[in-house]
Amino acid sequence: LMTRISEDANEVMGFFIDGLPYMFTNILFMIASIFIMLSMSVRLTLLTIMTLPILFLVSFKMQPVLWRYNGRRALYSIMNDNLTGARVVKAFGREQAENERFYKVSKKVRRAEMDLVNYDNLFYMVYAGVEQFAIVSVWLFGAGMVLGNEPLIDYGILVTFISYITSLAERLDFFSYIFRWWAASMNSAQRIFEILDASADVVEIA
């Protein structure tokens, strides 16, 4: 109960206070950047934003698995029981039984953490790979536009355009992080509501 009240509540609060407002700020920045990029080169802008649906598809497909891995981390509460209730365990001579129980639970927690970290890294790797593919594609396509017989854009515009793509990629990195943060906070919210919605075992007579 203490784990859910303290850690889970802080997780949810952090998402809505520190995460959600920055999400709207980054969306506005992305919209403004795309309009500026359109003023420099429509072709390069279209080539850039073609990757956005891929990133959203990646997030949509990988999000459920990320949610499930975050949910398995709830086993921490069982470990907390053994530590905070050490006196009770010793009083009833349950040291050996609790040690075995603790060992089994700790193995599951370790496996859950490893799975979460590995999948989290995979999520970010795919996200970053799509971003870098977009940047390289713009460099190659833009170089052809600069070095052609009739240059369509100047080299300075291409460099400026790339700087905007880099800034855009930083905002997309934030969205990859906030998708993972959202999965963790919603799992925490689910555990909190399990307590709030629980029915009392003993009902007082009115």
Q: What is the pLDDT of residues 78-118, one digit of tens each?
A: 556 656 666 776 777 777 777 777 777 777 777 877 877 78
- pLDDT (tens digit, 9 = 90+) per residue, 143-202? 888 877 666 778 888 888 888 888 887 787 787 777 777 777 777 777 777 777 767 666
Total-model pTM: 0.62
Contact 116, 73 (CB under 8 A): yes
Q: Stretch 15-22: mean pLDDT, rounded?
A: 80
Task: Name the residue with higher pLDDT: 74 or 47.
Answer: 47
CA dist., res. 11 & res. 143, Å (int)? 46
Note the pLDDT of residue 143: 83
**48, 54, 51, 55: which is closest to 142 by C-alpha?**
48
Residue 172 CB neighbour total at 10 angstroms: 20
Mean per-residue pLDDT of the chain: 76
DSSP state of 197: T
CA dist., res. 143 & res. 159, Å (int)? 10
DSSP-based three-state secondary structure for 154: coil
CA dist., res. 46 & res. 43, Å (int)? 5
CA dist., res. 21 & res. 12, Å (int)? 14
Q: What is the largest CA-CA distance in the chain?
A: 90
Residue 169 CB neighbour total at 10 angstroms: 19
Note the pLDDT of residue 74: 55
